[in-house]
Amino acid sequence: MSDTRHRQLSRIYGKIIETDRDARAAVAGAPGILASALFMEAVESDDVTSLDSARIYLEDRLAFFGELAAAAAGAVRTGFEERLHAWA
């Protein structure tokens, strides 16, 4: 596993993700898991100090995952927003 994105998604999903196909399937199959993980990252980040900065954090992370999360990005955003509203 040489791709940093694969390693991070492996940690998030708790399984080995070795290819882009594996990564896209994991995210598409359970976008809520990625939304929860990114929300927890945002909560723990010293750079996230408001709802707006949490949303910026999410967008930066989605950009990092790029095409691996693109198809499920809407569902990830929705799940993140649900957690964000509960937190606010």
Average pLDDT over residues 8-35: 97
| pLDDT at site 1 | 47
| pLDDT at site 87 | 80
What pTM, to 2 d.p., does this model score?
0.93
CA distance 67 to 82: 23
pLDDT in tens, 2-19: 699 999 999 999 999 999
Average pLDDT over residues 56-60: 97
With contact defined as beta carbons under 8 Å apart, do 43 and 87 qualify? yes
With contact defined as beta carbons under 8 Å apart, do 54 and 84 qualify? yes
Record the tokens describing residue 74, joined without a space: 């809407």
